[in-house]
Amino acid sequence: MARVDYNLINMNNCACCICTVQRHVSKCARERTKRIQALEAREIDAISLLKPKEFPWLYCSTGKAKCDDLDFEEECACSECEVWKEYDLGKDDNVDYFCKKMNFRIVS
């Protein structure tokens, strides 16, 4: 499987924030997203400041989600993601739901 770099470009291109797996139910993901939005409202580049364990998305790089209240009954949005397309993440089997299944070290 391709290794996805944990960097600002991939963080900005990540589509996990629109994924229904975390969007509808996850209080944890909503709180982390609100934190990013609050910092950016003050013109602080929050994304570049966050450590992998604090960043609520980019699971294909950071591994399994830190939030434990995601709804895996919802449809995964990985195939709609620019990071997915750029790194050709659909070529391997069993690659949906990065937030649930992955567990590897961060590449930066």
CA distance 23 to 31: 11
Q: For tokens 């291109």, what's the residue?
A: 13
How do the domains of the chain map onto residue ranges?
Answer: 8-101
**Nearest alpha-carbon partner for 54 in 40, 42, 66:** 66
pLDDT in tens, 22-70: 877 788 888 888 888 888 888 877 777 778 777 878 888 887 788 888 8
pLDDT > 90: what percent of the chain? 4
Give Rg (Cα) of the chain: 13
pLDDT of residue 1: 59
Q: What is the DSSP string of the chain?
A: -PPPB-SHHHHHH--GGG-HHHHTT-HHHHHHHHHHHHHHHTT--HHHH--TTT-S--HHHH-S-S-S---TTSPP-GGG-HHHHHTTGGGSSS-S-HHHH-----B-
Q: Pull the structure tokens for residue 59.
A: 């699971």
**pLDDT greater than 60 at residue 105:** no
